[in-house]
Amino acid sequence: MHRSIWAAAIVSLTGLSTVSEARESNTQWVDTFIGTGGDGHTFPGAVVPFGMVQLSPDTDNPMRGVSPQPEIYKRCAGYHYDDTTIVGFSHTHFSGTGHSDLGDLLVMPITGEVKLDAGTAEDPDSGYRSRFSHDKEWAQPGYYGVELLDYDVTAELTTTTRAGMHKYTFNSAKDGHILFDLTSAIYNFENKVIWSDIRKVDDRTLVAYRATNGWARNRQMYFAIQFSQPIDDYQFINLDNMRYRCMNCLDSKQKHSTIENKAVKMTAGKAVKFVASFNNVDQKPVYMKVGLSAVSRSNALENLQTEIPHWDFEKVRAQAKQDWAKYLDKVDVEGTRSEKRQFYTALYHALQAPSIYQDVNGQYRGVDGEIHDGKGFEHYTLFSLWDTYRALHPLLTYIDPDRVSGMIQSMLVHYQQSYEKMLPIWSFHAHETWTMIGYHAVSVIADAYLKGIRDYDIDLAVEAIQSTANNPVYDAIPEYKKYGYVPMDVLPESVSITLEYAYNDYAIARMFEAMGKNKLAQQYYARAMSYKNVFDPETRFMRGRDSKGNWNKDFNAYEAKYMGPFTEGNSMQYSFYVPQDVAGLIDLMGGDDAFEKRLDDLFDTPLSADMIKEHEDIAGLIGNYAHGNEPSHHIAYLYNYAGKPWRTQERIRQIMDTLSSDKPDGLAGNDDVGQMSAWYIFSAMGFYPVSPGDLSYAIGAPQTPKVTLKLVNGKTFTTTAKGLSKTHKYIQSVSLNGKPLNRNYLTHADIMAGGELKYVMSDKPNKAWGRDNSARPPSLSEYK
């Protein structure tokens, strides 16, 4: 048995370089391990595009209060490539976040003595965890497999949108067990589990429930579990209540009081586990299906039965692969193996969230905690908007505008269901975490609206945007409106908040202007100029300011201080955060040359660890430029605006060459739910949305010989980079559909019209190229 399984695994692992490659979809290029090393925080397990289930191995779940923070941070996605043991397979994971939660319903197939604790990585035999080796581990989109060495069990996972499927092959043991540890969680800590239960419904079916208090408070998750063969024996474990330890006392003839019906096969509490035991597992693999729901056990069961009505693991696996192929084949990339692996893995990571958060019957749990009927639209969760408004959401408008509509509808019902009447900030699983700053949902909506994606209630969108941008309870908006900036004596991170509000207001103005709401648009255009109120003309830096107008006395442009005026960044970085009015910023900073010098200062001045010691997110450094965190993402493109596009071209190449690879540690920082990946995808094609909402893209430097994007209007948009190499990093010339293009930006209309964008590359900058920018969408200053 062992051999055939392992041989099959080898084929699927090494299939990447066989002759069958030609017929393979682009799924073949995805390496789900990219980002699982370093601080990428991605997971290697099974997921379908935008799926509710992320079924993936957890290599360790260190406890807060027991383990040091770096150990915990390292395992935001449950799995880290450095680890050598697996504690089990759980069904929910974030991809690339910088804070974490989830890890619901950890399952572990085991043999021999049943251990009830995971044990330690240092002494794997102390618990139920197993050693594993990357040599005996394989994955492809929608599928993951590994040899659990301590048990000689081959574990394979695949999934649909709402139900995961497990295949456990016991290669040498005669009897096997499947352990369910409802105490296990990512970012776990004592008392994280508010309540949980598990019930044996019949010999092949379990249902379970867990509420946790983590990043999301009192998050609800329901599970339905089915086995391919009857359970032969089982054990309920309830660590916090010895009364429930033995639930089948009647069977074992133990005397018990009739006050509790111990014959009922369920247990409930805060520390609950369950062991299902199977005899003769050497005969055939044990399969298991697990349906998830945030609404109810019965919905979890319906999700499972609807999406996986059979026991054909390979069929589910093939469907998952096909789901991915449908998306990944929308883009054709030519390039080196490494470039293709990086590109398609980036696309794979970009298409995981916002994810479906709705049952097959349409029900979902809203941010009000209540169950709603979502018939008529797809409901999504996981809005990491401070990260993803920048490039991920603009990218999705090309890949799947229908889903973008669903995401916007989901944000609008969030607004309606929120007690604060706010669009989401950083929300997941029916909870607003209030993490990060700004109200970037408005720019996601504005960008989509301006691109013609309007399949949602537009009046409601306007109402939601207005309510959010003028909200009395959210981060000092009243003071922002009163003073023109957020005073530092009112709220920490005041400068970053002011700058991001100003950009958000620009996006609103653009949308409202396009709707003909000119008076309103003018108000928001005026608010969008607020960035000037935190620009200190003396130091020429963005700088904290109190409510009396005084500048921060304790100012250090390099320092990123927790609870200081900047958000996960310093003034060196944030002083460039005026995407809506780079021209105005250049003026403030003293003109094109001074601006170029300031950009060079950013990239070339080393940043001491001392300056950022409170911020684990600030990573992927080139000088003070932090590619691993979002506030830097647009900055390399800003040379363009000072008339120096070849400097942007240099910087993009520099970032690509030094901060990106196709190795597990190939991401320079957290993927942040696809934002890092979206940066890569746009930048590899040679352009980037510096200011979503202006419908333009700054041209950088292509990093891939050829990319063809199949557009939803049936057209294709192709970029080619003639002569591209590491040294031929400069643009010599550009043509669009055969006509010379002498501007350093591209418009949304250019892309949607289809055709070919042809870059000719050179090893020398062409300083004359890209100067005809007179038709560029006007800089904010010019709107007034």
| Residue ranges that bind its own copies, judged by CB under 8 A | 194-195, 197, 199, 201, 209, 211, 213, 217-218, 250, 253, 255-261, 263-266, 268-269, 296-298, 368-371, 419-420, 425, 432, 434-437, 472-476, 489-493, 497, 562-563, 567
Nearest CA to 180 among 209, 149, 157, 203?
Answer: 209
Q: Smallest gap, in angstroms, from Cβ of residue 419 to its own copies?
A: 6
Q: Smallest gap, in angstroms, from Cβ of residue 211 to its own copies?
A: 7
Q: β-strand 755-762 against 716-722: which pairing, if any?
A: parallel
Does residue 753 contact residue 716 with C-beta atoms inside 8 Å? Answer: no
Spatial neighbors of 331 by CB under 8 A, at least 6 apart, are 26, 343, 344, 347, 707, 708, 709, 710
| Helices of type H across 239-384 | 297-307, 313-328, 337-350
Q: Between residues 139 and 301, which has the closer beta carbon with respect to its own copies? A: 301
Q: β-strand 696-699 against 706-710: which pairing, if any?
A: unpaired
Q: Smallest gap, in angstroms, from Cβ of residue 428 to its own copies?
A: 15
Q: Which amino acid is at 730?
A: Y
Q: Residue 460 class from Cβ within 10 Å (0-12 exposed, 13-18 middle, 19+ buried)?
A: middle
Cis peptide before 778 (omega within 30 of 0): no
Q: Between residues 585 and 673, which has the closer beta carbon with respect to its own copies? A: 673
Q: Smallest gap, in angstroms, from Cβ of residue 542 to its own copies?
A: 17
Nearest CA to 40 among 93, 85, 105, 119?
Answer: 93
Q: Smallest gap, in angstroms, from Cβ of residue 762 to its own copies?
A: 46
Q: Between residues 386 and 682, which has the closer beta carbon with respect to its own copies? A: 386
Residue with tokens 């504690």: 87
Q: Between residues 98 and 142, which has the closer beta carbon with respect to its own copies? A: 98
Does residue 213 contact residue 189 with C-beta atoms inside 8 Å? Answer: no
Q: Between residues 105 and 721, which has the closer beta carbon with respect to its own copies? A: 105
Q: Between residues 489 and 592, which has the closer beta carbon with respect to its own copies? A: 489
Question: How much of the chain is helix, strand and coil, in % rounded to 5?
Answer: 30, 25, 45
Instruction: Round to whole Å and give the CA distance between 726 and 723.
Output: 10
Three-class secondary structure of residue 583 per DSSP = helix
Instruction: Round to whole Å and give the CA distance between 102 and 185.
Output: 6
Nearest CA to 103 among 143, 60, 65?
Answer: 60
Q: Between residues 369 and 606, which has the closer beta carbon with respect to its own copies? A: 369
Does residue 777 contact residue 696 with C-beta atoms inside 8 Å? Answer: yes
Q: Between residues 283 and 562, which has the closer beta carbon with respect to its own copies? A: 562
Q: Between residues 413 and 453, which has the closer beta carbon with respect to its own copies? A: 413
Q: Smallest gap, in angstroms, from Cβ of residue 437 to its own copies?
A: 5
Q: Which amino acid is at 14?
A: T
| Helices of type H across 112-212 | none
Q: Smallest gap, in angstroms, from Cβ of residue 310 to its own copies?
A: 25
Alpha carbon distance, N-terminus to C-terminus of the chain: 74
- Sign of the dihedral through C-alpha 312, 315, 321, 323: negative
Q: Between residues 228 and 418, which has the closer beta carbon with respect to its own copies? A: 418
Q: What are φ and ψ of residue 64, in 5° steps?
A: -65, 140
Q: Between residues 13 and 239, which has the closer beta carbon with respect to its own copies? A: 239
Q: Smallest gap, in angstroms, from Cβ of residue 247 to its own copies?
A: 11
Helix (H) or strand (E) holding 522, with range, is helix 518-528
User: In sequence order, what E strands does 554-641 have?
Assistant: 621-622, 625-626
Q: Smallest gap, in angstroms, from Cβ of residue 101 to its own copies?
A: 14
- Sign of the dihedral through C-alpha 140, 143, 144, 147: negative
For residue 109, what are its two tokens?
A: 């197939």
Q: Smallest gap, in angstroms, from Cβ of residue 459 to its own copies?
A: 23
Q: Smallest gap, in angstroms, from Cβ of residue 368 to its own copies?
A: 7
Q: Between residues 420 and 513, which has the closer beta carbon with respect to its own copies? A: 420
Q: Smallest gap, in angstroms, from Cβ of residue 493 to its own copies?
A: 5
